[in-house]
Structure 1
C-alpha cells in the first residue's frame, strides 16, 4: 500500500469514527446551579428558623470576564413551590466570575433587597469549571433573601434566643 493510500484509509477511518454519536467528540461541560430564595421576616439579613421559602422569586446567573462590564454569560430562573431554583449551564467558565443575584420578589410584603452591612447587594459566587477539584456537575449557591419592610412580631423572641440586638449599629 502506497503512502498516499494509507493516508486516504486513515482519513476515511477518522471520518467514520467522528460520525458515530458520542465518539471522538469533545462536549462542553454541563452544570446545574441550585439554590434557594427566602423571605427574611426579621430583617437581620441571614437565614434563620423564621425565614420563609419564596416560591416564584426570580434570580439571575451572570458570568463576567476580566474586563470591567464584560458579561460573558447570563441566565434567569424562577424558584419552585419550595423556594428553590435549578439552572442548567453549558460550557466551562473557568476564567470568569460567576454568581447569582436576586432579580424580583414574588411577594409585595417582602420585596426589599438587603443593602446594608455584609448583606449589601447579595451575591452568591459560583464556580463553573471542571478544573477546580469539585466532582459532579451540581453547584450549590448560598441562600439569598429578600427582606420584609417591617419585622414580624415573633422576631423579638428570636433576637433574645440569638442574643442579638438588631437596633444596635455594628
Structure 2
C-alpha cells in the first residue's frame, strides 16, 4: 500500500460537496476518490478498490490531480483539442471515393486498395495519421469491395478440379 498525499486545493467539505453534486458518474468517482484519500485518510489503492476500480486507476488520478490541478478531474481524457481536430472530414471521404474508382497511386504502392493503403493515402495527401483499422472502416463506409476475380492455379487441369468437387450422396428411397 502506498501512502497517498494530495495537494489541498480544496477543503474536505468542498471535496465532499463536489463529489455529491456531480451528475457524471466518472467525474463523481474521481472527486469521491480524492475525498476518501484527503478527508478520511484512505490509501489510494483502498479508496479505488472501494469505488470498484483498479489500484492503478486511483494512483493515476491522484498523480494527475497533484500535477495539473483540479481542472484535470472535470475534463475527460478524450477532450484533447488536438484529438478533436484529427478527424477524417467529409471532403476527405468524397476525395477517397473518387480515388477508389481507380487503382491506388504509385506513392502509396499501387495494386489493390486495402485498409493500410487508405491510411497511407490519408497520411500522404492530408497529413493526417489514422490507424490501418480506420482505413479499413473508411473502405467499408464507401461500400468498396475488391472487384477482381481470384486467380486460379496455373497447373491445375479441369479433370483435377472435377475430382475435388463435392458430390451429392445418392438418394435412397
Q: Structure 1 length normalisation: TM-score?
A: 0.22
Higher strand residue share: 1
Higher helix residue share: 2
Higher relative contact order (CA 8 A, sep 6+): 1
Q: Structure 2 length normalisation: TM-score?
A: 0.22
Q: Which of these two proteins has the greater Rg computed from alpha carbons? A: 2
